[in-house]
Structure 1
Amino acid sequence: MAGLGGLAMLDEVMTAAAAAGGTAVVEAAGSDLWAWFRTRCARLVGRGDPGREGEALERLDRTAVALAAGADEGEREWQREVQARLWRGEFAALLESVAAAERDELVAGLDALRARTGGQESGGAVSGNTFRGPVAFQTGAHSTQDIHFGTAG
């Protein structure tokens, strides 16, 4: 895998695609989209080679395990950052290793994976519920909110 230094050799579009791919892996892991995502991502990384595809599936599975293993929110957040960085490096190395025509296809594939994962990590839907009293919903990955109870004034 390429380190962060490998990103310096990529142009902005490829750097953004590699970063988006890393984020997509982290967002998809543990979601309802994971089975579909891991297969598509492994195909993209494998580029038609069953051996490379199998290796990618193993790495994706290790990522999912690592992301699920955090004992508290701080540890889970740290693991999300680590795994996103690792996959960003993986995608950057892949983009640097292929010819320009294949690189364009990979960039499009990474962008498609990221577009498909947008908002999946939180589920995003509330249906068939009855609420009595004040209710607050928070959606999106790593959202922050401030809640104040009491009366205004």
Structure 2
Amino acid sequence: MLVETLAALAAAGGTAVVQAAGSDAWAGFRQAVARWFGRGDTQRELAEPERLDQTAAALQTTDPARAERARISEEVSWRARIEARLEHLDGAERDQAADQFRSLLAEHVPEAQVEAGPGGVVAGRNVEIRAEGSSIAAGVIHGGAHIGPHPAPDPPQT
């Protein structure tokens, strides 16, 4: 399996852990992630829920700046843990574990579970941002982007 594919899977996993923490889906997701990390090792499977609970606790803050830092930190941490877990497996085991993790995410993290903060826009399709006159248009892109040619200005009206 391509390194890029595994990195994308680990990134999706890190995001999923952070998004699921404290939600109604947390208990089932938490247990599924613990089983996946354990991969038959009962000791490890029992230790993972504690790590997951530490993540949930770290994300519970009312200060927006702290919450954002905690979210980013926890996403990065879980991404690294998932990548490390996959890297320590041989080729066939790695492919199987990646498929199992992909299935875990599909089962526990619905695609529609996407949120934007105040003033944000989330889209599963194209979004066009334009500036009129002397306005400034800006956007933050999380994912792929296609930038087309700048349209010609309208001719001056006389």
Q: CA RMSD for the aligned pairs?
A: 1.9
User: Identity of paired residues, percent?
Assistant: 43
Moved over 6 A (4+): none
Q: Which amino acid aligns with 1:19?
A: A
Residues 1-153 of structure 1 aligned to structure 2 (within 5 Å): 11-68=3-60, 70-115=61-106, 116-118=108-110, 140-145=114-119
In the alignment of these two chains, the number of paired residues is: 118
Inter-partner Cα distance in structure 1 for 2:116 and 2:93:
33
Deviations, residues 6-56 of structure 1 (Å, cap 9, x unaligned):
xxxx71111111111111100110110000000000000010111111111
Quick one: structure 1 residues 73 and 114, their matched pair in 2 at CA, closer, same or farther if it must change by over 3 Å? Answer: farther
Q: What is the Cα deviation at residue 114 of structure 1? A: 3.1
Structure 1 residues 48 and 75: CA distance shift in structure 2, 3 A = same
The gaps in structure 2 that reach 5 residues or longer are 121-158
Q: Which has the higher helix share?
A: 1
| Structure 1 CA distance for aligned equivalents of residues 15 and 92 of structure 2 | 24
Task: State the TM-score, normalizing by the size of structure 1.
Answer: 0.70
Q: Give the greater-gyration-radius structure (CA).
A: 2
Using CA pairs below 8 Å that are at least 6 residues apart, which structure has the higher relative contact order?
1
